Structure 1
């Protein structure tokens, strides 16, 4: 750029006016006229400006987070510091009260010539209330004592021994016996198995055990079954199954019972032995009649021996029931139901006896 020669102050300079505006603008433009931006200056600006804005935003968010965190933590720090001071003061007051004797005319803490602090009495009251609440809470968690009972009476075994009595071993169960009552007009028979705790320790019956049925004689093995007693079944003479205890705890010498009922089938004399109580063996009318019809001809009787060839008499039908405790074999008791051909055995779970 060609700059005009400077010829010294002109008439305007002498009058104090100085350089005019147009000349000053030309001088400034001439000073920066040969300056050109870099080729990637625009791209750099496009990248740098958003990055700078992002850094500013992050710095602002970080400062706000630090401010919030400091405001949240400050009360906790103050509380901890205050609590620590109160604890130290209480310890100091306790030590001084234990080791320094009271002087005559001395007044309690917080009362006098300004030597005590009222806050100490409030803190002490607060600690006493907190200790009282803690003691009350610990007393509430303690097990409540059982209701008072007359001297010499033992509490109910289900309440006392339920948590400490182990499962009965097979050796602890003995003196098993079975009983069968008479059949009614419909052939129904009720009975029970009785098992005693023969040990000197309290034990719990682990389960219902098993009741097995074994047909004998002419009883139909395929038509004899054992099922659990349920509400509404045919064994109406058994106890209500909904009242059976969930567990049976036996004291030494105490027994439990498993009751059962034999309900014969209702298809008449062909299979209901309670109604078919006739002869248990076939009538010997053919053999006996032949022997008595020809007493005169001894030779004919000797040549035709019919009695040795007759089949042996069939044993009377019956069903033998056996009970095995839940802890395993051997079976502890059995019971026999006579004149039983086909039917169903309904059984209960263990029930504690009164004696």
Structure 2
């Protein structure tokens, strides 16, 4: 009996101890289960936030509030950078002043119509005229040819054209020539060749000029024509006496040959200049240099007139 009581007491004590231990461990088990569920939910939210395209930066697990969003400082910096990019884009799209070049230099006015102006046709050039100035003390004469764009369209003079010289009268054809005006030549009254334009663009009604200079040969005086010698003196009469008989005089008069008519006077020497545009014949203007026998014609290229 004492032994049975002892075992019963021990069984009760063990049951009580087990009951006490069970009550004490239950809250811990509940806490562990709850914590595990929260951790799994946090991992799931973090994984989903890493795949969201709206969030540029995802926080690592266990950082921040657990939703993978950037903190407020980083978001503010991102917005500021975005505004700066917008301002730069607006500045780059501001309109620039018309006609301005990258260096701030306006375009050259001579190139305004160069790309759209066709070459002048012959029928677009008209109203040609030639002028000749007075000779100076050395016999030098300056003049010009003037040609007008008679059409209603802008056109470009394609080249210098030609200037031809035609000796007339007693002028020496082999001693008259036409050359281009160059720096340092004898035609000091012509414009500097370095200032001539590379191309000439004519507005409707606008004209160009080709200037020229006549420089006489140095061995012919002021007019380049040598002095003409007088005619031969009359031959003396044969016999020289006054005792000739009338019959002899009549016979002599019948035997004397008749004198032919005097030849027509030789035309005065001159040189006629003509200008033909680059597009071809016919010649558009001419000019006459009177009292000229030998010399050189210096010519310029086309120059746009201002009137």
Query: TM-score by structure 2 length?
Result: 0.61
Q: Which residue of 1 aligns with 2:217?
A: 265
Q: Radius of gyration: which is bigger?
A: 2
Relative distance call for 1:254 and 1:116 in structure 2 (3 A) is farther
Q: Note the residue ranges of structure 2 that are not aligned, 5 or more in a row.
A: 1-49, 56-65, 102-106, 238-248
Corresponding residue for residue 156 of structure 2? 204
Question: What is the aligned counterpart of 2:127 among 132, 157, 175?
Answer: 175
**Where in structure 2 are the equivalents of 1:63-102 lying within 5 Å?**
89=53
CA deviations on 1:287-334 (whole Å, 9 max, x unpaired) are 9xx9xxxxx98x9499533232x4443222211111111111111111
1:187 touches 1:275 (CA, 8 Å); kept in 2? no
SS at match of 1:207: coil
Is 1:342 the counterpart of 2:294? The answer is yes
Partner of 2:197: 245
Q: Confirm whether residue 218 of structure 1 aligns to residue 170 of structure 2.
A: yes
Rounded to whole Å, the distance in 2 between the matches of 1:204 and 1:115 is 74
Q: Distance in 2 between matches of 1:130 and 1:319?
A: 78
For residue 213 of structure 1, report the CA deviation from its aligned partner.
1.2
1:145 partnered with 2:95: no
> CA deviation digits over 1:56-97, x for unaligned, max 9?
xxxxxxxxxxxxxxxxxxxxxxxxxxxxx9xx957x9xxxxx
Shift of 1:183: 1.0
Conserved in 2, the CA contact under 8 Å of 1:173 and 1:198? Answer: yes
Count of residues in Structure 1 that have an aligned counterpart in Structure 2: 227
Deviation at 1:145, TM superposition (A): 3.0
SS, match of residue 261 in structure 1 = strand
- Corresponding position of 1:162: 114
- Structure 2 matches for 1:104-123, cutoff 5 A? none
Superposed displacement of residue 191, structure 1: 0.4
Q: For CA contacts below 8 A with separation 6 or more, give which structure has more relative contact order.
A: 2
Q: Unpaired segments of 5 or more residues in structure 1? A: 1-84, 93-112, 148-154, 291-295
Whether the 8 Å CA contact 2:218–2:224 is kept in 1: the answer is: no
What's the offset of the Cα at 1:172?
0.8
Residues 200/116 of structure 1: CA separation in 2 closer, same or farther (3 Å cut): farther
Q: Residues 95-152 of structure 1: CA distance to partner in whole angstroms, max 9, x if unpaired?
A: xxxxxxxxxxxxxxxxxx9797577776666566556656655669x674369xxxxx
Does 2:139 correspond to 1:184?
A: no
- The 1-side partners of 2:159 and 2:196 are apart by 12
Aligned to 1:306: 259
Provide the rounded CA distance (Å) in 2 between the counterparts of 1:301 and 1:284: 26
**Post-superposition offset of 1:219:** 1.6
Whichever structure has more helix as a proportion of its residues is 1
Superposition RMSD in Å: 4.1
Deviation at residue 222 of structure 1 after TM alignment: 1.8
CA drift at 1:257: 0.6
Bigger Cα displacement from structure 2, 120-129 vs 311-320: 120-129
